[in-house]
Structure 1
Amino acid sequence: MPHPASDLSAVRRPIAHAQGLPNAHYTDAGVFEEEKQALLFSQWAGLAAQADVPEPGDAVPMSFLGVPLLLIRDKQGQVRVFQNTCRHRGMILVEEPRKIEGAIRCPYHSWCYATDGRLVSTPHVGGPGQNTHDGIDRATLGLIEVRSHLWFGVVWINLSGDAPAFEIAMSGLLARWAEFDHPLFHGGAESRFQLEVDCNWKLAVENYCESYHLPWVHPGLNSYSRLEDHYHIEQPGEYSGQGTMVYRQIRNENGDVFPDFTGLSDKWDTAAEYVAAYPNVLLGVHRDHAFAIILVPDSVGHTTEHVHLFYTRPATDEGLRARNAQQWKTVFEEDIFVVQGMQRGRLAPGFDGGRFSPAMDGPTHLFHDWVAGKIETHRARPRAAE
């Protein structure tokens, strides 16, 4: 049953009359479970970076909202996502990141799976020394594969299996950033970091969407890329965010910059854009690098932000990459007190979800409206089936 405090009609009003999502959507464990299904399992959600499994045989176990998953690059070089569970008795197959040299072997009864998920060995399943049995059809007992798609250096998954094709679901963003349809090269160890934040994951999305807070939360950034240099980015049902007409390239002590993406239009000489791809991936594009922040909702009040920076070539200046990563880490860390403060503020029973500035909060309101619409659709499904 939906939480009694989660009436969403006020959220879906036009922005001048709308209220934000009720407190329960940030503090209530039951609503968190409902949103898990409505917002994260049923959509194309970000799981990890392709660079987490760079070589064939690389395997990384991970949990996504409690579901045990195995990210693997199979022996043919294809990135796949499987449920990290043996089809025999449900044992976890891989406990730590490692290279799969032969097969994925279950530590319980030694059933073995190829890196493409096929069940290839079932020792003693028919009795001692008998490795087959008529009742065990290996062809139907491969690992359960999770629907996945690779784009922008990110491994996207659809756990429910019934979302529209990624190219349809993200068609607006694919078209908007078609100029950046080039290979992205992960910057390496110094170009990845994570931030642990005591807030509901949606607050990280909401804050990222808008530029309204720049003068007060990011005074260094705002000193050259000012609030008035920014514009809204709004695509109902898919993404929202902000752009700036003033992007300043980072330089090393010799004045060198990162090489640009090829074939960009003149707009990108000075512009940059920052978009929240619903539900949980925050993306940024610039003429010379890009980044992805994958928000992992660990619980109703805690989120891990996995940050990855990408470049136009595999080998760029290591010191400059490290400097760029530190610059972005500083900016993202400046947001932590804000999202954690909003999380604590949601414990105030009289807070009604807040208001939106029609001039400044359009991207954030769009995200709230998307959340409310998906939840309403999710709630309607059981009744339709009755």
Structure 2
Amino acid sequence: MRTDLSRVHQPIDRASGLPNAHYVDPEIFAEEREALLFETWAGLAAGADVPEPGDAKPVDFLGVPILLMRGKDGVVRVFQNTCRHRGMILVEEARKIEGAIRCPYHSWCYSHKGELVSTPHVGGPGHNVHEAIDKSTLGLTEIRSHLWRDVVWINMSGDAPAFEDAMAGAMARWAEFEKPIFHGGADSRFELEVNCNWKLAVENYAESYHLPWVHPGLNSYSRLEDHYNIEAPGQFSGQGTLVYRQLKDHDGNTFPDFQGLSDKWDTAAEYLCVYPNVLLGAHRDHVYSIILVPHGPERTVEHVHIYYPTDDTDPALRAKNTQQWKSVFVEDVFVVEGMQKGRHAPLFDGGRFSPAMDGPTHCFHAWAAERIEGHRTKAMAAE
């Protein structure tokens, strides 16, 4: 299936959004899986999902069985969750692996770094080696990965530019926040399952236009007119606010600030959509990430993690902060699910953009269209 994306590339005052098929059609979803998520640096999970050495977590990422593992050396690695012998799934549920990663089928064993270390009876009963089995070439298939802002980013195709080059713009914008961050723990994570295409969650997060109607509580002090657009074509987009109000407990205490921030952050906060599927928020006293994991064209799971400048923040205030953000994000659910339903209207043409307010969303659409068309060109050349 081929869709016409020419109008997506038009200047914002004449552009249309991505056609309906890009939200509902399984064939287009499969195409975007490659073009937008496998051929780029996509968010998989959080480092906090495997906080201690030996922690392992299986993840289904767009149908690919993946094993997230923090090795004994403290390094987070990403592997295909399949034994190199007969393709058996290695780890079925999150757990700590004290020794080797053992395949439950024939007991081939792998180190925390993915090296094949044991092949019992491979040469016959009692013979644990065979000249045809070169263990040095049969380690777990490692997926290219990088840890930034505690997001585990992966490049499934293996041929994206180096992470530091691909994310140079976002890393430079928030260079002041390149300092240790501490996950709040069990009270600082939650998931939201939403019945929408993952791109709608990106589009909604990118703009502040909807604040007065969807987030009236937030808009009561951080008003629409206090916000500004952020646009970095081909990289990221989002919004910022000039008014950020710190959360306080009953005694007026707040979270500690990140040290060394410029005066800008005394009253400001920013929210970036780092393409393709990671949403980030930065404030003087906490940051967060939302990792969007698609489960088909019309279902997405949002994995939310909140971090602080120190590892000893007040649990009650952390819980209050988590609940506040969860309430805000839940307010968006009816919007993204409503837009998803709207994409089944056959005469909807992708919609128009407000030239003043929708720049960040149009920026995301243009990036997606360019990558999809580039993918189609390569596919045609290979035929």
CA distance in 2, matches of 1:332, 1:239: 20
Q: How high is the TM-score relative to the length of structure 2?
A: 0.99
SS in 1 for 2:7: coil
Offset of residue 76 of structure 1? 1.1
**SS of residue paired to 2:107:** coil
Alignment partner of 1:93 is 2:90: yes
Cα offsets for 1:158-204 (capped at 9, x unmatched):
11111111100000010000000011100100100000000000000
- 223, 228, 236: which is aligned to 1:226? 223
**Within 5 A, what are the aligned runs for 1:312-323?**
312-323=309-320
SS of the aligned residue for 1:257 comes to coil
Show the counterpart of 1:146. Answer: 143
1:23 to 15, 20, 24: 20
By how many angstroms is 1:315 displaced? 1.0
Taking the aligned partners of 1:382 and 1:96, their CA distance within structure 2 comes to 36
**1:203 equivalent in structure 2:** 200
- 1:109 corresponds in structure 2 to 106
Q: Deviations over 1:212-262 (max 9, x none)?
A: 000000000000000000000000000000000000000001100000011
Hey, what does 2:289 align to over in structure 1?
292
Report the Cα distance in structure 2 between the residues aligned to 1:153 and 1:220, rounded to whole angstroms: 29
349, 353, 358: which is aligned to 1:356?
A: 353
**Aligned counterparts, 1:122-161, within 5 A:** 122-161=119-158
Could you say which residue in structure 1 is the equivalent of 2:382?
Answer: 385
User: Structure 1, residues 70-116: CA drift from partner, whole Å, max 9, x if none?
Assistant: 00011111110000000000000000111111100000000000010
Aligned AA for 1:165?
Answer: A
The equivalent of 2:5 in structure 1 is 8
Shift of 1:352: 0.2
Q: For residue 236 of structure 1, what is the aligned residue in structure 2?
A: 233
Structure-2 residue corresponding to 1:375 = 372
Q: What is the deviation of 1:384? A: 2.8
Task: Give yes or no for the alignment of 1:272 onto 2:269.
Answer: yes
Normalization by structure 1: what TM-score?
0.99
Q: Partner of 1:225: helix, strand, or coil?
A: coil
Q: Do structure 1's residue 340 and structure 2's residue 334 form an aligned pair?
A: no
User: What pairs with 1:245-260 in structure 2 (closer than 5 Å)?
Assistant: 245-260=242-257
Number of equivalent positions: 383
| Aligned partner of 1:38 among 24, 31, 35 | 35
Selected match of 2:305 from 282, 304, 308: 308
Unaligned regions of 5+ residues in structure 1, if any?
none
Whole-Å separation in 2 of the counterparts to 1:104 and 1:129: 21
Q: How far off is 1:382 after superposition?
A: 2.2
The DSSP-based 3-state class of the residue aligned with 2:6 is coil
Q: Distance in 1 between matches of 2:55 and 2:351?
A: 46
CA distance in 2, matches of 1:41, 1:74: 24
Pick from 175, 188, 192: which aligns with 1:191?
Answer: 188
Rounded to whole Å, the distance in 1 between the matches of 2:163 and 2:119 is 36
3-state SS, counterpart of residue 11 of structure 1: helix
Aligned-pair CA distance for 1:385:
3.4
CA distance in 2, matches of 1:140, 1:319: 51
Look up the match of 1:365. 362
The separation in 2 between residues aligned to 1:194 and 1:111, in whole angstroms, is 34
2:56 counterpart residue number: 59
Q: Which secondary structure state, in structure 2, belongs to the residue aligned with residue 10 of structure 1? A: helix
Which amino acid in the other structure matches residue 59 of structure 1?
A
**AA partner of residue 114 (structure 2):** G
Q: Which residue of 2 aligns with 1:47?
A: 44
Q: Which residue identity lines up with residue 47 of structure 2 in the other structure?
A: Q
The 4+ residue runs of structure 1 with deviation greater than 3 A are none
**Cα RMSD (Å):** 0.6
Aligned partner of residue 105 in structure 2, secondary structure? coil
- The aligned amino acid for 2:43 is G
Instruction: Please tell me whether residue 171 in structure 1 is matched to residue 168 in structure 2.
Output: yes
The residue aligned with 1:84 is: 81
Unaligned runs of 5+ in 2: none
Identity within the alignment, % = 72
Secondary structure of residue in 2 paired with 1:279: coil
**Separation of aligned partners in 1, 2:132 and 2:207:** 58
